[in-house]
Amino acid sequence: MRATVLGRPLRGVAFDVAVSGLVALLALASTAGSAAGWPGTVLGLGMAVALLWRRGRPVGVTVVVAALAYVQVALDWAPLPYDVAVLIALYSMVKYADRLRDGVLAGVVAAVGVVFAAARTPSQVAWPFTAVFYGLVVGAVWLAALNVRTRRLYVLSLEERAATLEREREAQSRAAVAEERTRIARELHDVVAHGMAVMIVQADGARYVLDKDPQAAREAVRIVADTGRQALADMRRLVGVLREPSPPEPTAGPDPAPEPAEPTHRRPSVAELPALLDRFRAAGLRVRHTVTGDSGALPPALELTVYRLVQEALTNTLKHAGVGATAEVDLAHRADAVVLEVLDDGRGRIPTTPAPPGGHGLVGMRERVSVYDGSLTAGPRPGGGWLLRARLPLPSSPGTEVVTA
């Protein structure tokens, strides 16, 4: 931390005190044998004291120093060495004033003072030449102050820009965290909705055949347990993303080379669709799966979206159409998009417990599709059952508008 005095940096205060002390010494030394005498000394000490506030109040300091200088002119005193305070005040005015207009006004006042000072200066040459000399000195001081002011404002603008960029980075970081949490919330919904739907259907089925077919009831209970374990493992992976990583242990010696970052959690892909469909088949759905076209290498996020769309669609089929319904999953890889169709006949066994209202499955699917500017159509089929069709443009192809039914 920098030391401060009355809220000002110690270094700046010490420099201002030194400048003021120098002017005071000049006032004491230069008026001893001059016509000004002790009144001149008092005048010079007044200028020296005023310079102590030249950084914080440059306008007031310049007014005080200029007034004392004009008093000196009115008393018909020749310029004295402590009049260097006028140049210091002019420099401070141009450098530290809030508006450059004040510095320009101080320059005009100094130019008028140059004329009076040249007229009062005893010299072997004509006073216009003395005025030109004084004017060059004042002009050089004014231009030097202007240059320093410009550099100072430039540095301040760079600091402000850096602070703005830092705030923008923090805002972007917060937005990224919020987006990641929203994505994790969707993932948790998909995991929980799928797992709970399968478990509820299988539990109802086990209760229905418990007395008639104990072997089928045991199989249903096994599926409930396996589905619960799988859902719990997925939830643990997702919740683990929300936890802050523990800081690394300090090690002695040179820092080791950084290792490549590991992925925070595994993302399901299109290649895992057969395993997902097998779980639904084990839950009682008859699922047919077809893939057309060359899949190529899809972005991981797009593969995750396709996987979750299939999972949510079949979960809805299991909840609403019931065990025994037939579902078809058609995944078409085209040159510009991936087209997914999931349909069912709606002819399964009616669930003993109706599905709870107010689900967010379709809302979540629309959100996922809208990320890719795709289209989603979902609704009942004319012959019974339900149809879901999603078109996801590839990143290199132009998007389409979102259409929902």
pLDDT digits (tens, 9 = 90+) for 284-329: 889 999 999 887 778 877 888 888 899 888 988 888 888 888 999 9
**What is the percentage of the chain residues whose pLDDT exceeds 90?**
9
Position 254 scores a pLDDT of 44
* Averaged pLDDT, 237-242: 62
Whether 257 shows a pLDDT value over 60: the answer reads no
Residue 74 binned pLDDT confidence (cut-offs 50, 70, 90): confident
Greater confidence (286 vs 122) lies with 286
Residue 72 binned pLDDT confidence (cut-offs 50, 70, 90): confident
pTM of the full predicted structure? 0.44
Position 132 scores a pLDDT of 85
CB distance 353 to 204 below 8 Å: yes
Structure tokens at 96: 């530290």
What does pLDDT average to over the chain? 78
Residue 247 binned pLDDT confidence (cut-offs 50, 70, 90): very low
* Averaged pLDDT, 133-149: 88
Cα–Cα distance for residue pair 368/186, rounded to 1 Å = 9
| Domain spans in the chain, listed from the N-terminal domain onward | 4-122, 269-405
Position 338 scores a pLDDT of 92
* Averaged pLDDT, 24-51: 80
> Could you tell me the strand order of the sheet in which 326-333 lies?
286-292, 326-333, 337-344, 386-393, 375-380
Q: 51 in the Ramachandran plot: left (φ > 0), alpha (ψ -120 to 50) or beta? A: alpha
Position 6 scores a pLDDT of 60
Whether 276 shows a pLDDT value over 70: the answer reads yes
* Averaged pLDDT, 159-176: 85
Greater confidence (47 vs 122) lies with 47
Pick among 3.40.50.620, 3.30.420.40, 3.30.300.30, 3.30.565.10: CATH of 269-405: 3.30.565.10
Whether 389 shows a pLDDT value over 90: the answer reads yes
* Averaged pLDDT, 86-107: 86
If you average pLDDT over each of 56-60, 200-204, 346-350, which comes out highest?
56-60
Residue 341 binned pLDDT confidence (cut-offs 50, 70, 90): very high
* Averaged pLDDT, 106-121: 80
Neighbour count for residue 197 (Cβ, 10 Å):
26
Greater confidence (398 vs 69) lies with 69
Whether 271 shows a pLDDT value over 60: the answer reads yes
